Structure 1
Amino acid sequence: MPATATKSGAEVDVTGRRIFGLALPALGVLAAEPLYLLFDIAVVGRLGALPLAGLAVGGLILSLVSTQLTFLSYGTTARAARLHGAGRDREAVGEGVQATWLALVIGLLLVAVVQAIAGPLTSAVAGGSDIADAAESWLRIAVLGVPLILVALAGNGWMRGLQNTIRPLRFVLVGLGISAVLCPILVHGLWGAPRLELEGSAVANLVGQSISGILFAWALFREPVSVRPRVSIMRAQMVMGRDLILRSLAFQACFVSAAAVASRFGAAVVGAHQVVLQLWNLVALLLDSLAIAAQTLIGAALGGGFAVAAKKMAWRITVWSTVFAVLLAVLFAAGHSVIPQLFTADDEVRAQMSIAWWFFVAIMPVAGVVFALDGVLLGAGDVTFMRNATMACAVVGFLPAIWMSLAFDWGLAGIWAGLTVFVVLRMIAVSWRALSGKWAVTGTETTAHAVERSSEEAEGSWQQS
């Protein structure tokens, strides 16, 4: 029986050491893929501008295909963590089995669809025949790994639910390590290997992602659980998936709109926006690792029946996350004149970066609260509220500010003011929800499914009366 389930609510261990013990390996998993992509870009970049552009377009499409399905990790974590907290580890692993079946089915469908429309798809994104041709050849190879990429997402989900974040890190590092070795060999034909150029990058990507996925599948099927598909569990997972996908689409609509508006103000504004946005993504990555720790701990506490402890835990994690975010804000504030020089020597770009910089610094402490409480609500499975809140904040805050920035010529200041409003509104929404305590539903059902079941029962009672 897991430790969480054997303790009283007042004794649940949520020390900083415990939180960061879960968060640091999770950060490694989150950071490994972006770091490998930077390495891949450096290797392909030596071939020239056209292969690099092809990699950019193909990689963007592959990323869009796979990142919309993060419910396979986040949703599975929420459900598995509750079962783990209740001392039902075999059923928690069973959530991983069903998520893996979903990953394989959805992944194979995506491979078929992308292979069928790869040409028109890359042409639509690239806008030029040469770049589109290069991207298409890369994408047709790399997309074959999507089923196992999704299996790895599911594997991360159930292992995090069991509060094991070290094993997923090992599996991811093995796969990406092999990709990193193969990439220069196959791209440039080193040590007698065939020179595949851009296609070599796709093959290396395919091999590495496949190995990681196979390791996750191997770990799962070594567990003493049934591997039979269970439609009822997969249907419940898809309910969470629907809400998380819509939430993800709201984020993407905002950031795509921001990029589109920035492009209307010229190259310097686009370049400055891209650099500061990537730094924001780095900060988000760091804070998201704490959110993952929150998911696993909150889910286990609620699954073990410790609602009071879960609420205390939520605020303790929020304090840790906020302190960490404040330290990051101080670091970036102190480096405001130095850090931009690491990315560009262009004075005009640096001048535009200085406009966005202080918005970027100011929202970090706010983001510390948002990411921590996002993790709390995800751990509780309160995804319907999160979907609605994110979409409302996007429609009310971010999107109007972005398009007003274009209409009134506010430039980068308007775009980043929009992001600031978006983050502040999200902080208000998740803080209100956390204070309400409505998310702290104990038992092995997530908050979303408990509410859905209650609604169905109420509707049935009304129809009978």
Structure 2
Amino acid sequence: MAHMSDALAREPRPARRHDREILALAVPAFGALVAEPLFLMADTAIVGHLGTDRLAGLAIAGPLLTTAVGVCVFLAYATTAAVARRVGAGDLSAAIRQGMDGIWLALLLGTVIALAVLPGAPALVDAFGASADAAPHAVTYLRISALGVPAMLAVLAATGVLRGLQNTHTPLYVAVAGFAANAALNLVFVYGAGWDIAGSAWGTVVAQNGMAAAYLVVVVRGARRHGASLRPDAAGIRACARAGVPLLVRTLALRAVMLIATAVAARLGDRQVAAHQIVLSLWNLLAFALDAIAIAGQSIIGRYLGAGDTDGARAACRRMVRWGIGTGVLLGILVVASRPLFTPLFTADPDVRRTLLPALLVAALSQPVAGVVFVLDGVLMGAGDGPYLAWAMLVVLAVFAPVALLVPRLGGGLTALWWAMALMMAVRMVTLWLRIRSGRWLVTGAVRA
């Protein structure tokens, strides 16, 4: 009995330690994640006052730009896991060297994307059906913004470096400063200098390059402090690229799920797709809170496995799952309780509101499942288990696509589509949980073999 009492007295201490670690990493990460989409929101608010044709141009160019950058988010994920492992192994010099390889890869990819977008901007804009009035503004914004893509990708990779080093405060400070600079420069260039929509694009480019410079200063200082080389290493860059390919596949499959859902909603009618856009926007907002815990998971799990501590990794995983479930329950309750307040902000159409409500309730009910999914996704990313994540997401896509495409044929409405989304999340949870239960992700060492 005495031994049991001692065990119970000791048990909360590791739990509290994990809680402190999760909060210390997740809260700043959440702030940085929320600051990122504010860039485009600031551009939208400022450009919106220039006229409908300019705003329409931004509405086409903006998603093209964010998609090009979004599919490269593996630069942050893969770098976080690789750097955290080296940190856990106690080799900070190698950790920073690993991070520099990720940054060099980001600069190379960003340059390739920019060189492709500059001449291809008119064709890309035409492919999205831009009107004759909006097309020139979309092309202008897209071409200028392309010059900032290398910096945007460098920011992703450098963010991964700092997360791997267990530092999420610096990305928060840089993101907030970048947003403030972007808003100020947009106002100066658009209205002060009279550069029209081009001023908005230039403001974003300058702000993104400033953020990249700030990150590089921090990383370079760390490299000099620990004697890490800053020169590009071909073998290291290739290794980063190989580690990123599975995560790229995972991201593309996930984006395919979202595109299919929107396409199905569009086939259901204008009222249905309008309500779907509102639910999807809210879903993406809630994802920031859950993704913050996933980012903490990437950093913590990578560090434990790098140190060879599988028991610590398992314990941290269990604790983060509880955090994911609790956060999901809280978010679901918040959505249901606050729906009378935020629904009027999105639409005054009573038909859209009636269509929206049941789909919104389904999204709210699925938040605890989403919490588990985000956490386990982050845990496996931190473990460097990218190939499994890629295959698992392809399985999810294979299950979701036929179910979603049957919704219009079977006469289901938006609520049925969101039940299909809930099914998608449930399948993701099962595939991730099976991997966690297997223990095959618990590969220790400074480098995952």
Q: TM-score range by the shorter chain?
A: over 0.9
- Hey, what does 2:410 align to over in structure 1? 408
> SS of 1:387's equivalent?
helix
- Hey, what does 2:360 align to over in structure 1? 357
Supply the AA of the counterpart residue of 1:211.
G
Select which of 236, 253, 256 maps to 2:256: 253
- Hey, what does 1:69 align to over in structure 2? 72
Q: Contact 1:401–1:417 at 8 Å: present in 2 too?
A: no
Select which of 50, 53, 62 maps to 2:53: 50
C-alpha distance in 2 between matches for 1:13 and 1:302: 20
Q: Contact 2:75–2:244 at 8 Å: present in 1 too?
A: yes
1:181-260 correspondence to structure 2 within 5 Å:
181-187=184-190, 189=191, 193-222=192-221, 223-224=223-224, 225-260=228-263
Supply the AA of the counterpart residue of 1:141.
I
Q: Deviations over 1:207-259 (max 9, x none)?
A: 11110011112222222221122222222211121111111111111111111
Q: Deviations over 1:235-286 (max 9, x none)?
A: 2211121111111111111111111121122221111100110100011111
> SS of 1:63's equivalent?
helix
Q: Contact 1:155–1:216 at 8 Å: present in 2 too?
A: yes
Select which of 130, 133, 157 maps to 1:130: 133
- Hey, what does 1:172 align to over in structure 2? 175
Structure 1 position 373 matched with structure 2 position 372: no
- Hey, what does 1:93 align to over in structure 2? 96
Q: Deviations over 1:40-71 (max 9, x none)?
A: 21111112211111111111111111111111
Unaligned runs of 5+ in 1: 1-9, 451-465
Taking only aligned residues, the RMSD between alpha carbons, in angstroms, comes to 1.5
For residue 184 of structure 1, report the CA deviation from its aligned partner: 2.0
> Percent of counterpart pairs with the same letter?
39
Supply the AA of the counterpart residue of 1:208.
A
For residue 29 of structure 1, report the CA deviation from its aligned partner: 1.4
For residue 13 of structure 1, report the CA deviation from its aligned partner: 7.2
For residue 11 of structure 1, report the CA deviation from its aligned partner: 6.1
Select which of 433, 437, 440 maps to 1:438: 440
Unaligned runs of 5+ in 2: 1-12
Q: Deviations over 1:273-322 (max 9, x none)?
A: 00110100011111000000011000000000101110111011110121
- Hey, what does 2:9 align to over in structure 1? none
Structure 1 position 345 matched with structure 2 position 348: yes
- Hey, what does 2:327 align to over in structure 1? 324
- Hey, what does 1:149 align to over in structure 2? 152
Structure 1 position 418 matched with structure 2 position 416: no
For residue 130 of structure 1, report the CA deviation from its aligned partner: 2.3
> SS of 2:420's equivalent?
helix
Once the two structures are overlaid, the 10-residue window that deviates more, 262-271 or 94-103, is 262-271
Per the normalisation by structure 1, the TM-score is 0.90
- Hey, what does 1:456 align to over in structure 2? none
Per the normalisation by structure 2, the TM-score is 0.94
Supply the AA of the counterpart residue of 2:112.
L
Structure 2 vs 1, CA of residues 235 and 13 (structure 1 numbering), >3 Å: closer, same or farther?
farther
